[in-house]
């Protein structure tokens, strides 16, 4: 199996995609109290990406860069985001609340909003998966 060389530019492009999807999720959930669980994750992902973008800007040899990324708290955080079940937490928080409202239309609305958030959240997770794969492929 041929090993593809991952460049800092590849990492930069991947981080930009993560940041874009996280920013979209951030904007969609901003100032909405019921969605604070997901909003907080978006904020943390943006911060992690910003930190990683600064790390990648440092003039390091490629091997040194990947060694630094391997132990980076931001990379570890992004791995944890993939493993976390934030959408289940959101649903556990929002959907029982909606059912207690005894208003079928409002319940349906909250379910639709939750589904839209899940699409945006999953798009962000997909980009994080891609970044994590780039880093792991280079380290193997």
Domain boundaries, the chain: 8-139
pTM recorded for the entire structure: 0.88
For residue 79, what pLDDT is reported?
92
Q: Report which of 3, 7, 140, 139 is spatially closest to residue 67, judged by C-alpha positions.
A: 139
DSSP per position, the chain: -PPPPPPHHHHHHHHHHHHHHHHHHHHHHTT-GGGHHHHHHHHHHHHHHHHHHHHHHS---HHHHHHHHHT-HHHHHHHHHHHS-HHHHHHHHHHHHHHHTT-HHHHHHHHHHHHHHHHHHHHHHHHHHHHHHHHHHHH-
For residue 32, what pLDDT is reported?
92
Query: 27 CB contacts (<8 Å, ≥6 apart)?
Result: none
The tens digit of pLDDT for each residue in 7-38 reads 888 899 999 999 999 999 999 999 998 899 99
Burial of 43 (0-12, 13-18, 19+ CB in 10 A): middle
Query: 123 CB contacts (<8 Å, ≥6 apart)?
Result: 21, 24
For residue 2, what pLDDT is reported?
47
For residue 5, what pLDDT is reported?
74
* Mean pLDDT of the chain, nearest integer: 87
pLDDT less than 70: residues of the chain: 1-4, 60-63, 138-140
């Amino acid at each position: 199996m041929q090993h593809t060389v991952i460049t800092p530019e590849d990492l930069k492009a991947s981080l930009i995609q993560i940041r874009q999807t996280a920013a979209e999720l951030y904007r969609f959930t901003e100032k909405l109290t019921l969605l604070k669980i997901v909003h907080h994750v978006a904020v943390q992902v943006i911060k992690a990406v910003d930190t990683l973008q600064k790390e990648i800007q440092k003039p390091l040899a490629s091997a040194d860069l990947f060694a630094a990324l391997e132990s980076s708290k931001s990379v570890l955080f992004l791995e944890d985001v993939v493993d976390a079940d934030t959408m289940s937490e959101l649903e556990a928080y929002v959907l029982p609340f909606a059912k207690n409202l005894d208003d079928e239309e409002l319940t349906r609305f909250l379910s639709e909003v939750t589904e839209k958030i899940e699409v945006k959240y999953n798009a962000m997770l997909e980009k994080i998966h891609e970044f994590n794969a780039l880093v792991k492929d280079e380290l193997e």
